[in-house]
Structure 1
Amino acid sequence: MRIITNIAAIFAAMAIAGAVAGAAQAQPARWQGQWPETDFDRTSIADWSEIMSGGPPKDGIPAIDAPRMIPAASETRLEAQEPVMVWPVPDGAARAYPIRYLLWHEIVNDMAGGVPVAVTYCPLCNSGMVFDRRVAGATLSFGVSGLLRASDMVMYDRQTESWWQQATGTGIVGEMTGAELDLLPAWMDSWERFRAAYPDGLVMDEPDWSRDYGRNPYVSYDRSAKPFLYSGEMPPHGIAPLMRVVRVGERAWPFSRLREEESVTEAGVTISWEAGQASALDARRVAEGRDVGNVRVRDAEGRDVPHDVLFAFAFHAFWPEGEWMLGG
């Protein structure tokens, strides 16, 4: 499997992907040969040039199914500030999915507390979300298509080979076009904070793949001036394209504001920011990334609210009419 490993390789991939996109414009013929089970007559895509190859082929980035989970107390490989996706399992022990593994696999199909979930992470958008895999009475499992739209991962379900936009959890091509996955309360937190909050929690064990887990294959990406494999409009209000924002529905709060105020209550939610989480997309080793902080989003009753932390350009791409919560 080939995966982008440095800035130069990413720019080379951009040129290749641009040529591929041009060939695919206005019709899906290129993709039909690779996806014979996908119903291309059903789609919400108006312009096929929006779909680009990210480099690896279908399943070239292998999703993980039924991951091994181990007690958090027995995990010794993770460092305190490393980021993990946290899912507070209903009727079960909370689970942590280290970003050091999701960088290389992007999707984990898991089940706990009677709930089948897809734990997803798109490095190019920094978008990490946990979805319920049940749709219209069917339980789906997801893989990585190797395709991108607006720099965001296009997932596919193995049952119908429909394509899904990870940023929105929506079917965009195939039988499942228009279907929506339920976004569950989950968040990215530091390993240290997870252990403190859930001493009896579980953490995903290292997968049985030959990968340099702990290494960041996207060195300095979130310090870049512009996103890779993206040609869309940049965010308004002078917001840097790779500024992290907290998205709740169709509203976005920039991290620059959250770092300054530390706690913001508006639009029915309270968003808190606290230092102590390493960026997975900065230094060569995930644990050595600069501190970007931890965020929690709760409603007026203190319950965790489904949300995402993604780059500003991705919010603008998928919610062009969305509201920017700038304060002041």
Structure 2
Amino acid sequence: MRFKYLIAAFVVGCLITTAQATPDRWRVEWPNTDFGKTNIGSWSEILSGGPPRDGIPALTDPDYIKVSREKRILDREPVITLELPGDTPRAFPIRYLTWHEIVNDTVGGVPVAVTFCPLCNSGITFDRRIQGKVLTFGVSGKLRNSDMVMYDRETESWWQQALGQGIVGQMTGVELTQLPSWMESWAEFKARNPNGLVMAQPNYPRDYGRNPYTGYDTSARPFLYNGEMPPHGIEPLARVVRVGDRAWPVARLRSGKVEEAGLNITWEKGQASALDSANIGKGRDVGTVRVRDTRGRDVPHDVMFAFAFHAFWPEGTWMLSN
């Protein structure tokens, strides 16, 4: 299993990185980051994920093609869907985000960052405007609680992807606005949006469509994570629907929709896990979650692994039953 190989390859590096976690060792690579400002408890929380800064290349202003022209993507493959007023609905295939993790673009006049952290299954879209600036995000190569640490190219501050919050540097404590987006199958997107757009294949030498984390979401433990496991007997890599500081186990949704806390949460089969089989489109069915309010409007949310929710919202509410 590829994931077991990754654990073996990085276990020594993880220990070394923890021992060396200090800004003094990072300043050469990050000369413009203000390490005097941070809201994390200990520098040892920051680990190297393996690749260096920009070793996972974020994308900016990608090309798009019409849905009818896309022939590579399998029907069950997951995409992140963004449907903003004033613009054509767009699909961002996970087959590309697995290898790039961040897409910077402008949709409907809104500068956006579409992000995906494979190790947390966290797919979130942010508004890139903050404090009168438009930020451009890259991948730092660092992890915290197994979640991607992003950075902005304007101030070189570090940002926690799961939180959408600055954690190191000038932007420490600043929060990005999360926009409504969701993961669904390619078949679902194109059936609803036959005139929609899909991000074109990037011009990088990557094995797009292959999952480098084969078997990850059925493994016993998260990768490069030393924190507490979730309570209530919930498996660490079980998917949960996070809205604010509440989490609904996806397993609870499979018997039908849930209506509570002013939300209508539904689950439909048909979407492949991006973190199961070697071919993303052939992963086991994990279904599509939609979250709407009582007026039918899409609500910002995230379908992430339970361990990550517990790590970043340790006092969060687990919505286990009616």
Matched, 1:305 2:302: no
Q: SS state of the match for residue 33, structure 1?
A: coil
> Paired residue for 2:121?
126
| Aligned positions of 1:1-328 closer than 5 A | 6-24=3-21, 27-260=22-255, 262-328=256-322
Aligned-residue sequence identity (percent) comes to 63
Asked if structure 2 preserves the Cα contact closer than 8 Å seen for 1:11 and 1:228, the reply is no
Query: Matched residues in 2 for 1:18 and 1:314: separation?
Result: 21
More displaced, 31-40 or 245-254? 31-40
- Is the 8 Å Cα contact of residues 156 and 169 (structure 2) preserved in structure 1? yes
Cα–Cα, structure 1 residues 254 and 183, in superposed 2: closer, same or farther, change >3 Å? Answer: same
* Alpha-carbon distance in structure 2 between the residues aligned to 1:105 and 1:222: 19
Contact 1:154–1:166 (Cα < 8 Å) also in 2: yes
Does the residue aligned with 1:34 lie in a helix, a strand or coil? coil
Cα separation, 1, equivalents of 2:264 and 2:48? 38
TM-score by length of 2: 0.98
1:16 maps to amino acid: G
> How many residue pairs were aligned?
322
- Shift of the 189–64 alpha-carbon distance from structure 1 to 2, 3 Å rule, reads same
Contact 2:2 2:215 in 1 (8 A): no
Q: Is the 8 A contact 2:146 2:223 kept in 1?
A: yes
Aligned mates of 1:209, 1:187 — CA distance in 2: 25
Task: Show structure 1 runs of 4+ deviating over 6 A.
Answer: none
How far does the alpha carbon of each residue in 1:271-319 deviate from its partner, in whole angstroms, 9 at most, with x for none?
0000000000000000000000000000000000000000000000000
Partners of 1:326 and 1:5 in 2: CA distance: 33
Between the aligned partners of 1:173 and 1:28, the Cα distance in structure 2 is: 10
Is contact 1:275-1:291 (8 Å) kept? yes
- The answer to whether the 8 A contact 2:145-2:308 is kept is yes
Q: Which moved further from structure 2: 288-297 or 4-13?
A: 4-13
One-letter code of the match for 2:305?
F
Are 1:38 and 1:160, in contact at CA under 8 Å, matched by a contact in 2? yes
Any conservation in 2 of the 1:264–1:270 contact (CA below 8 Å)? yes
1:234-282 deviations in whole A, cap 9, x for unaligned? 000000000000000000000111113x200001101000000000000
The answer as to whether partners of 2:221 and 2:236 remain within 8 angstroms in 1 is yes
Q: Secondary structure of 2:179's partner?
A: coil
Q: Give the unaligned 5+ runs of structure 1.
A: none
Contact 2:47 2:143 in 1 (8 A): yes
**2-side partners of 1:152 and 1:297: how far apart?**
23
Using structure 1 for the length normalisation, give the TM-score: 0.96
- Letter aligned with residue 318 of structure 2: W
**Structure 1 letter corresponding to 2:296:** G
Output one character per residue of 1:128-151: Cα deviation in whole Å (capped at 9) or x when no partner: 000000001100000000000000
Q: Give the whole-Å Cα distance in 1 for the aligned partners of 2:75 and 2:227.
A: 36
Q: What secondary structure is seen at the aligned counterpart in 1 of 2:241?
A: strand
CA contact (8 A) 1:18 1:52 kept: no
Question: Which blocks of at least 5 consecutive residues in structure 2 are unaligned?
Answer: none
The letter of the residue matching 1:57 is P
Q: Secondary structure at the match of 2:247?
A: strand
Q: Which moved more, 1:155-164 or 1:41-50?
A: 41-50
Task: For residue 6 of structure 1, report the CA deviation from its aligned partner.
Answer: 4.0
State the 1:5 CA deviation. Answer: 5.6
CA shift, 1:14, in A, is 3.0
Cα distance between partner residues in 1 of 2:204 and 2:47: 26
